[in-house]
Amino acid sequence: MHLCKKHFVEDVERKIKLTIRKEYSVRKNDVIAVALSGGKDSSVALYIMHKILGNRPDIEIVAISVDEGIQGYRPHSLEVAKNLTKMLGVRHIIKSFTEVHGVTMDELAAMDREKGACSYCGVLRKNILNRTALEIGATKLVTGHNLDDEAQTILLNHLRGDVERMARLAPPAAIEGLVLRAKPLRNIPEKEVALYALVNSLPVDFSECPYAGEALRGEIRELLNNFEAKHPGTKYSLLRGFDKLVGALIKEMPPAKIGKCRICGETCTEDVCQACKLLGRA
Ligand code: SF4
């Protein structure tokens, strides 16, 4: 579609409202935590959640940022995140890897390691986001995953043959100890998210993390973008196909039993949580 600025903004917001209505019912007294990195996706997620729900006195929106300790990258994006929360008048909590896990991402990246930097970073960040969301009594934890992220994850799991992980992509159910995740941008292509941020003049950091190149996801992203250019609609098709399949997938692979990590007490599906394993505490 070729849309003017006004209709483009309306179109994006209409799709997001539809996603929220269909997949994440918003309730009275909800405390909605939004994971905010300062990048375009999470900034747009916070801006839109605030625009849609910010005037409801029974709903609180709180931004949570995580400082992983990545020099030359994270300090600037955190400043940008602060500008956005100030502009919107949203409460902003910042937690760091150092205060919670006792190590920075730069230190972890410099160690001998079996996995890519993002494997450590993703697990440790999710751990902090969930803990912090629980501390403030959040009922939902919103992330800025867009259509490209979702399509990449689906394809990545197919290529790895990781059906269990695929089943975990299903809309989450409420589990004690894990704040309900919500991805209101999951139907919006990355380019539209970026354009939405630009036309609304949002303070956004467009720089890239120095470790991003290590991730296999980068290859999948390129592959999907090339495919999308030749066959428009590919990313939507991947997501739609997955959404149709997911019900059957969950029946075949019911979620693993939830327990507590014997080391840190966090909610997890094994004896020891992923964060403790990665930090060598097990
Ligand atoms: Fe962390 Fe990887 Fe994202 Fe960098 S690209 S912030 S290392 S998950």
232 located within any domain? yes
Residue nearest ligand 1's atom 7 by CA: 118
105 located within any domain? yes
277 located within any domain? no
90 is in an annotated binding site: no
Between 155 and 216, residue with greater pLDDT: 155
Average pLDDT over every residue of 255-274: 89
280 located within any domain? no
Average pLDDT over every residue of 206-223: 87
For the cut 80, the answer to whether the pLDDT of residue 251 exceeds it is: yes
- Structural domains counted in the chain: 1
Q: Which atom of ligand 1 is nearest to the CA of 209?
A: 4
Q: What is the pLDDT of residues 86-127, one digit of tens each?
A: 999 999 999 999 999 999 999 999 998 888 899 999 999 999
Q: Which atom of ligand 1 is nearest to the CA of 208?
A: 5
261 located within any domain? no
Q: What's the gap in Å between 118 CA and the centre of ligand 1?
A: 5
The answer to whether 204 and 80 are in contact (CB under 8 A) is yes
- Amino acid 252: pLDDT: 83
For the cut 90, the answer to whether the pLDDT of residue 253 exceeds it is: no
- Amino acid 168: pLDDT: 81
167 is in an annotated binding site: no
The answer to whether 8 and 199 are in contact (CB under 8 A) is yes
Average pLDDT, the chain: 93
Q: Which atom of ligand 1 is nearest to the CA of 117?
A: 7
Q: What's the gap in Å between 122 CA and the centre of ligand 1?
A: 7
205 located within any domain? yes
Q: Count the neighbouring beta carbons within 10 Å of the beta carbon of residue 270.
A: 14
Residue nearest ligand 1's atom 5 by CA: 212
> Cα(first)–Cα(last) distance of the chain, in Å?
53
Q: What's the gap in Å between 125 CA and the centre of ligand 1?
A: 9
Average pLDDT over every residue of 162-174: 79
Q: What's the gap in Å between 41 CA and the centre of ligand 1?
A: 14
Quote the domain boundaries for residue 177.
5-256
What is the CB < 6 Å shell around ligand 1?
68, 105, 117-118, 121-122, 209, 211-212
Per-residue pLDDT band for 169 (boundaries 50, 70, 90) equals confident
Average pLDDT over every residue of 255-262: 86
Average pLDDT over every residue of 81-85: 98
Per-residue pLDDT band for 216 (boundaries 50, 70, 90) equals confident
Between 223 and 174, residue with greater pLDDT: 223
Query: CA-CA distance, 154 to 236, in Å (whole number)?
Result: 11
Strands 259-260, 267-268: pairing kind: antiparallel
Q: What's the gap in Å between 123 CA and the centre of ligand 1?
A: 10
Between 214 and 30, residue with greater pLDDT: 30
- The pTM score is 0.94
Q: Which of 94, 86, 93, 44 is nearest to 68 (CA)?
A: 94
Whichever domain contains 119, its CATH number is 3.40.50.620
For the cut 80, the answer to whether the pLDDT of residue 172 exceeds it is: no
Query: CA-CA distance, 274 to 127, in Å (whole number)?
Result: 9
Q: What's the gap in Å between 213 CA and the centre of ligand 1?
A: 9
- What percent of the chain lies above the pLDDT cut of 90? 78
Q: What is the pLDDT of residues 25-73, one digit of tens each?
A: 899 999 999 999 999 999 999 999 999 999 999 999 999 999 999 999 9
- Amino acid 257: pLDDT: 82
281 located within any domain? no
- What percent of the chain lies above the pLDDT cut of 70? 98
Q: Which atom of ligand 1 is nearest to the CA of 121?
A: 1
